Amino acid sequence: MSDKTPIRRMAHYVAEVDEGGLGAVDAVRVAERKSNLWLDAWRDLRGRWMFWIAGVFVVFLIIVALFPSMFAPLDPFACDLNNSNDGPAPGHPFGYNFQGCDVYSRVVHGTSTSLSVGIIVTIIIAVMGIVIGAFAGFFGGWIDSLLMRIGDMFFAIPYVLAAVVIMSVFLNDRNILVVSLAIGFFGWPATARILRAEILRVRSADYVMASEALGVSRVRTMFTHVMPNSIAPVIVLSTVGLAAAITAEATLSFLGVGLPPEFISWGNDIAQAQNRLRTDPMPLIWPSIALSLTVLSFIMLGETVRDALDPKARALR
């Protein structure tokens, strides 16, 4: 090669200067919407018609239960045998039952009893299930084995059958609290198992290990970090369980071991009207419709909340 041969120099290309800078790239975009499990669930629920129908009906039921006299001013215990089995009349849209009581007034006032039993049972089941499931899932070991074996024993006993036996013992002391305790005391194992499984999934997360590494006590870590991220399935189960509790109370009252006749209950009214189903079915049909709509509304609400809290279900829609 000749010394006079020109040397070709490689060209260097320099990228354009980013006028935004690294600060703009790494900056937190505060204008974006915040997102977490509960916010995503609410955004999903807002666009679902079934949630609004069930939610509005549930709110309406709560108002009726709290202020029954506003919707039915007549005394549900004011019965006149002269009106026995009479049909609808002005001010009495559902007619009268065999004892001459206003069916509409009894259906409205029975809402308070059914919702009271359902709410108390749900609270009992939720408290027992959360405490037992949380300690079993988070601490594990012999605590988990002991609590789950106790849960297995309760699982082997149908809670409606157990409630029938308990209420047969307390025939002279039947009231809303006793019925609720009889149903709720045997209904917690499902809640405990579901929460335990969810806690087993959450307790291995990085933020849980970081909390323990910082010296936070295990009990505080459980209630501060693990429980808030595991409670969603329990909320869904409690919503559906409330409907089951209302059905259980009506079943006990229908069998004659639930609330006594001095309590207005849909189950009591159905039981009293069953013998005259062929001759006068309306006193049985109206409380049955109220019971069915109430149970259906809570089930629909629980189903929509369950789908909204499940990210996989949202992704498939």
Number of domains in the chain: 1
pTM as predicted: 0.80
Give the range among 12-21, 121-130, 211-220, 264-273 with minimum mean pLDDT. Answer: 12-21
Summarised one tens digit per residue, pLDDT across range 154-210 is 888 888 888 888 888 887 788 889 899 988 888 888 899 999 988 888 888 887 888
Task: Please report the pLDDT score of residue 286 as a whole number.
Answer: 92
Does residue 20 register a pLDDT over 70?
no
The answer to the question of residue 81 being in a domain is no
The answer to the question of residue 17 being in a domain is no
User: Are the CB atoms for 133 and 194 separated by under 8 Å?
Assistant: yes
For residue 278, the Cα-to-chain-centroid distance in whole angstroms is: 37
User: Are the CB atoms for 203 and 226 separated by under 8 Å?
Assistant: yes
User: Are the CB atoms for 110 and 170 separated by under 8 Å?
Assistant: no
Q: What are phi and psi of 99, to 5 degrees?
A: -85, 0
The answer to the question of residue 265 being in a domain is yes
pLDDT band at 293 (very low <50, low <70, confident <90, very high): very high
The answer to the question of residue 114 being in a domain is yes
Summarised one tens digit per residue, pLDDT across range 242-281 is 999 999 988 888 888 888 888 888 988 888 888 887 778 8
The answer to the question of residue 105 being in a domain is yes
146: CATH: 1.10.3720.10
The answer to the question of residue 16 being in a domain is no
**Token pair of 104, please?**
């509409």
Q: For residue 230, give its domain range.
A: 35-76+86-316
The answer to the question of residue 56 being in a domain is yes
User: Are the CB atoms for 87 and 100 separated by under 8 Å?
Assistant: no
Neighbours of 258 (CB within 10 A): 27
The answer to the question of residue 27 being in a domain is no
Task: Please report the pLDDT score of residue 115 as a whole number.
Answer: 92
Summarised one tens digit per residue, pLDDT across range 36-91 is 666 777 787 888 888 899 999 999 999 999 999 999 888 888 888 888 888 888 88
